[in-house]
Amino acid sequence: AQTVTQSQPEMSVQEAETVTLSCTYDTSESNYYLFWYKQPPSRQMILVIRQEAYKQQNATENRFSVNFQKAAKSFSLKISDSQLGDTAMYFCAFLFGGGTSYGKLTFGQGTILTVHP
């Protein structure tokens, strides 16, 4: 079974600064996807970024980028130029790309990020 671990329950950052959220995972599979989701106070889950395991290049989406270290099973999220609207709970998630578990997301415990003005 896959496990996802987020070791930072809470983090804070000043507006315009950079913050990195950590995530590690455990799997014996080679074909999988990794995600970062954002859940603001509205509780709507929003996809921030997706990484395919077979791609060596780190995914980026505007101010959001990941550091994907496949051998170390690490998948951290860097938020640059933090904005007040980035305040949310962030979840790291794993999806196995095949078999009977296809499509099932395994979530980490979440990290509450607060951006201060």
**What phi and psi values does residue 12 have, to the nearest 5 degrees?**
-135, 155
User: Rounded to an integer, what is the distance from CA 27 to the centroid of its chain?
Assistant: 16
Please choose, out of 19-27, 61-69, 75-83, 109-117, the segment that lies near other proteins by the rule CB under 8 A.
109-117
Binding mask 48-87 for other proteins (x = CB under 8 A): --x-------------------------------------
Give dist(CA 49, CA 37) in Å, integer: 7
Q: Which of 15, 35, 14 is nearest to 110 (CA)?
A: 35
Q: Which of 45, 48, 23 is nearest to 36 (CA)?
A: 48
Binding mask 22-51 for other proteins (x = CB under 8 A): -----------x--------xxxxxx--x-
Output 16 or 47, the one with its CB closest to other proteins: 47
Residue 70 in 3-state DSSP?
Answer: coil
Q: Which residues form the interface with other proteins (CB under 8 A)?
A: 33, 42-47, 50, 89, 91, 95, 97, 102-105, 107-110, 112
